[in-house]
Amino acid sequence: MPAKPAPTEESLVAETPNRRGGKLALILGLPLGAAAFAGMGFGAGWFLYSESNSPMSQALRMIERPSEATEPPTPRGGLPSPTRRTPEGDAFQTTYYSFDEPLTTNPQGSRRFIQLGVTLSTQYDPKVMDHVKKHEAALRSDMLAVIGSFSEDAMAGRDGREALAAGLRGAINERLESLEGFGGVEGVFFPSFVLQ
C-alpha cells in the first residue's frame, strides 16, 4: 500500500470546517426567524381584527340583518297583519311638565271664571323643565295675566284655545329667557279647560 503524503499547512486549512460561518449563520438566523414569526403574528392579527372582521363589525352586521323571527306572521288570508313598528333612529325625546294646581281667573270683561290645567312640553334638554319648576311662581303669575287678557269669545273654539296656548308659550319663554337665558318651551296643552 502506498504511503500517504504528509499533509501541508494549506491542505489542513482547506479541510478544516469553517466554524466562523456557522456561528454567523446562527447569529443572523435567530433575529430573522423572530422577525418572520412576528410578521406572521401581525398578519394574523390584522386579518382577524381588521375593520371588516372585527368583533364589533360582526356584531353590527348581525344586528342589521333582518331576522325572520322579527317579521310579523302572515295571516291565512295572505295579507300582512296591521302592526305598527316603532321608528328606529335618533328620535327626539319629548319632556312634559304639568303644573300641580290649575290656574283660575276671570276672562277679560266677564264675571265668570276659567279654570285651566296646563302642561308644557319641550324636545330640548330636560333642563328646560327644571327651569320651569324653579320659576313656577313667576310663570303662574305671567300665565294668569295672559289668560285674563283673553275674553270668553276669544277663547271659544279650537282656534281660540290655540291662540291662548300661543300667548302662554310666548309669556313663559319670555320669562325663562330673562331669568335663565333660554326659553325652550315648545308646546302648551290644556288637560282641563272649564269656563263657568
* pLDDT tens sequence across 117-162: 999 999 988 899 999 999 999 999 999 999 999 999 998 899 999 9
Side-chain half-sphere exposure of 65, counting CA atoms within 13 A: 9
Same domain, residue pair 120 and 180: yes
42 grid coordinates: 401581525
Does 146 fall in a domain? yes
The pTM assigned to this predicted structure is: 0.55
* pLDDT tens sequence across 29-51: 677 777 777 778 777 766 666 66
Does 67 fall in a domain? no
Give the three-class secondary structure for 188.
strand
Task: Name the phi and psi angles at 136, rounded to 5.
Answer: -60, -40
pLDDT at 195: 86
Number of domains in the chain: 2
Does 134 fall in a domain? yes
* pLDDT tens sequence across 55-112: 666 666 666 655 545 555 555 555 555 555 545 555 678 899 999 999 999 999 988 9
- Write the burial class of residue 188 (CB in 10 Å: 0-12 exposed, 13-18 middle, 19+ buried): buried
Does 66 fall in a domain? no
Does 31 fall in a domain? yes
83 grid coordinates: 302592526
* Site of grid cell 330640548: 124
Does 56 fall in a domain? no
Domain encompassing residue 120: 95-195
Same domain, residue pair 99 and 19: no
Query: Please, which residues bridge with residue 194 across strands?
Result: 115
